[in-house]
Structure 1
């Protein structure tokens, strides 16, 4: 039996962040990873053609670049560096017009101004509003819920009336916020298109916060990529952990959290090997996997198990990587400067696309989120070529047949061919990853989901992953949820992992540990008491 202070299940970026913070606190840390690779959905590989590097899952990291959690780790000392494309984002409309976001606010303002006089100044006003709250807002987002200290800082900055206005703004749909702030479709698309990085439609309450956050981060700091691929971010986390004595064991699939007298004592892996945890077990896995598979209903309050039946996953995903022999031949040349490209829909088209998803149908005109990786980082492919990817959402299903996935891949290429005639002639090779492929490579991407559960308002804050405390603590003492199913949710920012590490340290440091555990259990009993 191997023993450590903390056993961490899963070497995704959240698990690695948690492991690093615990190692910083002097803990002996052991990470168990089911696959042969660290990183979860932050990995790179050569899956198309020799010399073309693809980010296998996520690629652009505005949240990771701005995250206080990631910044404090000092990953530059472990080989991580960042690079920006000339333009942050371009949304290409079906009629050939485009709107561009650039880190130079004058460039962005001029682009949105083309859609409606005055929108350039309105964009600058919206950005000034963001600058007033950016630092405390990011602290609030990445802090455990309730974010008392960070929340006080934000409240002091806004005062009562400003706080109420911000709260209202964050509860709006992306379409409604766009309509309140702007007159033309260009600026509205920069909000709505970014909101669709989640599973929310332009009409869904609470979607505005994601569109606003990603757009303002893009304006402030861009959407950079790690030089040399997403893998470099993972490699830096691993290097930092190992330098502090942490250990990672690969090819070990956790089968059960060992629970005795209401406490997590360790983990049993497939094959029957036990791994003992002296202080804590942290799980970088989806909430249903932790509670229903690793812990089991008999150790949980019945109402928690009942609530998990209503846990809502985000949408399934299809992702395609292409090796291109030349730059994408966009009909609109402005698109060629952008690292990230949104295409296939105008504002109403985004709503129709989301409606088809909500009806469980394959969108006939898919909205694409594309990345021109060589444009952002020339090391990704040979000179004069492009390493391109695009993904699109599908209705959530736990199992997908090959035929509809292949059909949607062709529709995605049709969208690109219309926007860039001659695109198909440049394809040297392609790699299609449907939902089953994504889950096979990273078991946390259940059904090809990428957010650890819906980002809808009814599954956020104290409601994430289900109604409860909204914290990393679980009803099992010394067991902590460290994955993106926990607050604040999906995205590569490390906050769920950091929150779990902080909770584990607080539990261990409590002068009266039994009282701490009793208080947490009492709180969970109040929430999950039997009817």
Structure 2
């Protein structure tokens, strides 16, 4: 087998981003994908009924749209186009009231003002605060750790005092942040519901920043979707890569990273073939899979192996897609135009729901994140119909009997039926992905975990995936972690893949590459000794 400059393990979006960046640098690139198609968790297909297109895993992409990494790839030149639902998202409370974010800030202000006098202006103020830092924040999030340049830019922009206040905000829980910013339940629920796109409860430190980020991005850029399905984003990445000479090999699961004298030399696939890499191996797979299964303990510091035993996954997921013969018949018409609807719990209900998951219980009243895909993109199903989905979390278990999953799907549909009587009567097709089904469809979604590991503060920054440098570099020379298990974590923004590609390029520089590796190795020795 011929040697290429870089072998990429996995054709998820992070792997494809890494491959594109290396191809831009003139490297020869080969991507090995375990399954029969690219995209990982960014894929679409007809799984409910003919003519109804579903996004199989992820769907709405505010981070993908706003990410500097993705924008630099100019995927619109390769067929990607974006569209928006009439409204960004709503949080529908159990009593039927709803708070809604619209791209027109005055409409958002009016929605939250209905819950508490003054919250409209407070929302405007919160958005002004976000606008001052959004560009630098996104740079800091999507660039290698530590974000020195963007961090210094934030300090210059805000001054020391405001920077410290921002830092404090970043470690607040969703409940605390909401209570500091707003008086009414509507705006607070918007933030908390967004925070529960992660596996964090409203009470956990650091959860507020996720709610603030997603809500304010919704106000700034919306929560857009690719026209024609999530798979169009993947096909744009693939088209861009192949136009630069990159190669993707499908049905080629990697079974081993080939290491000699502490350096990654390539990989071996399950069929026994060796694939040589002259300059780098980048892995778009979960960290435990890479280090414990593909590399092996022989090449790892014992302390790192111990740390990996404490790696924590994010929540298990059950996802249901529906083909509906008409729009969801919401009692509250305010949510009919929202691309995403959060429903099933108020703020206290979110805390109870999270507590049940934390104690291993299956929630009797699940909190749902629901997508109205035809509302966002009319190409997803026939005119006058709706392609919809919802997901909720479950505790992590070794296996889930079919009857338990079916019972939980009944609960999920009951939550929707309560707010939209007649919903069940409009179902003409249904697909259920249990946690085990999600992992079977995409081996990186271990146990139905969508985020590559918990979003909790103890597994972020230089703690991700284990205490270390917070960078893509690994103890094996020229092997780089480029999956959502790496900083900055889950979400379709391409940052882990881009960071891995940049690390590979830095390691390979003729004049400074050896010094780069020596510095990384010295730092790792001090951490893992």
Pairwise TM-score range, normalised by the shorter structure: over 0.9
Aligned to 1:10: 10
Q: Residue deviations 1:359-410, cap 9 Å, x none?
A: 0111110000000000000000000000000000111234322222111111
Deviation at 1:511, TM superposition (A): 1.1
Please tell me whether the aligned partners of residues 2 and 274 of structure 1 are also in contact (alpha carbons under 8 angstroms): no
CA distance in 1, matches of 2:513, 2:358: 46
Deviation at 1:47, TM superposition (A): 0.2
Aligned to 1:329: 329
Deviation at 1:234, TM superposition (A): 0.1
What are the within-5 Å matches in structure 2 for residues 72-471 of structure 1? Answer: 72-471=72-471
CA distance in 1, matches of 2:159, 2:307: 36
Please tell me whether the aligned partners of residues 32 and 250 of structure 1 are also in contact (alpha carbons under 8 angstroms): yes
Query: What is the DSSP-based 3-state SS (H/G/I as helix, E as strand, rest coil) of the residue aligned with 2:5?
Result: strand
CA distance in 2, matches of 1:210, 1:390: 20
Please tell me whether the aligned partners of residues 483 and 497 of structure 1 are also in contact (alpha carbons under 8 angstroms): yes
Q: Which moved more, 1:10-19 or 1:518-527?
A: 518-527
CA RMSD of aligned residues (A): 0.7
Please tell me whether the aligned partners of residues 506 and 513 of structure 2 are also in contact (alpha carbons under 8 angstroms): no
Deviation at 1:152, TM superposition (A): 1.3
Deviation at 1:516, TM superposition (A): 2.7
CA distance in 2, matches of 1:163, 1:486: 26
Query: What is the DSSP-based 3-state SS (H/G/I as helix, E as strand, rest coil) of the residue aligned with 2:17?
Result: helix
Please tell me whether the aligned partners of residues 80 and 236 of structure 1 are also in contact (alpha carbons under 8 angstroms): yes
Deviation at 1:150, TM superposition (A): 1.4
Deviation at 1:155, TM superposition (A): 1.5
Aligned to 2:526: 526
Please tell me whether the aligned partners of residues 202 and 350 of structure 2 are also in contact (alpha carbons under 8 angstroms): yes
CA distance in 1, matches of 2:196, 2:210: 8
Q: Which moved more, 1:131-140 or 1:505-514?
A: 505-514
CA distance in 1, matches of 2:417, 2:454: 31
Q: Residue deviations 1:110-148, cap 9 Å, x none?
A: 000000000000000000000000100100000100011
Query: What is the DSSP-based 3-state SS (H/G/I as helix, E as strand, rest coil) of the residue aligned with 1:2?
Result: coil
Deviation at 1:251, TM superposition (A): 0.2
CA distance in 2, matches of 1:18, 1:100: 36
Q: Residue deviations 1:185-231, cap 9 Å, x none?
A: 00001100000000000000000110000000000000000000000
Please tell me whether the aligned partners of residues 173 and 208 of structure 2 are also in contact (alpha carbons under 8 angstroms): yes
Matched, 1:60 2:81: no
Aligned to 1:511: 511
CA distance in 1, matches of 2:222, 2:202: 23
Please tell me whether the aligned partners of residues 398 and 446 of structure 1 are also in contact (alpha carbons under 8 angstroms): no
Please tell me whether the aligned partners of residues 473 and 500 of structure 1 are also in contact (alpha carbons under 8 angstroms): yes
CA distance in 2, matches of 1:60, 1:398: 29
Q: Residue deviations 1:253-277, cap 9 Å, x none?
A: 0000000000000000002100000
CA distance in 2, matches of 1:167, 1:406: 44
CA distance in 2, matches of 1:96, 1:220: 27
Deviation at 1:519, TM superposition (A): 2.1
Q: Which moved more, 1:243-252 or 1:145-154?
A: 145-154
CA distance in 1, matches of 2:515, 2:350: 51
- Unaligned 5+ runs, structure 2: none
TM-score (norm 2): 0.99
Query: What is the DSSP-based 3-state SS (H/G/I as helix, E as strand, rest coil) of the residue aligned with 2:392?
Result: strand
Please tell me whether the aligned partners of residues 256 and 293 of structure 1 are also in contact (alpha carbons under 8 angstroms): yes
Q: Which moved more, 1:520-529 or 1:35-44?
A: 520-529
Q: Residue deviations 1:419-465, cap 9 Å, x none?
A: 10010000001000001111011100000000000000010001101
CA distance in 1, matches of 2:69, 2:96: 40
Please tell me whether the aligned partners of residues 13 and 39 of structure 1 are also in contact (alpha carbons under 8 angstroms): yes
Please tell me whether the aligned partners of residues 195 and 207 of structure 1 are also in contact (alpha carbons under 8 angstroms): yes
Deviation at 1:315, TM superposition (A): 0.3
Deviation at 1:514, TM superposition (A): 3.3
CA distance in 1, matches of 2:374, 2:405: 26
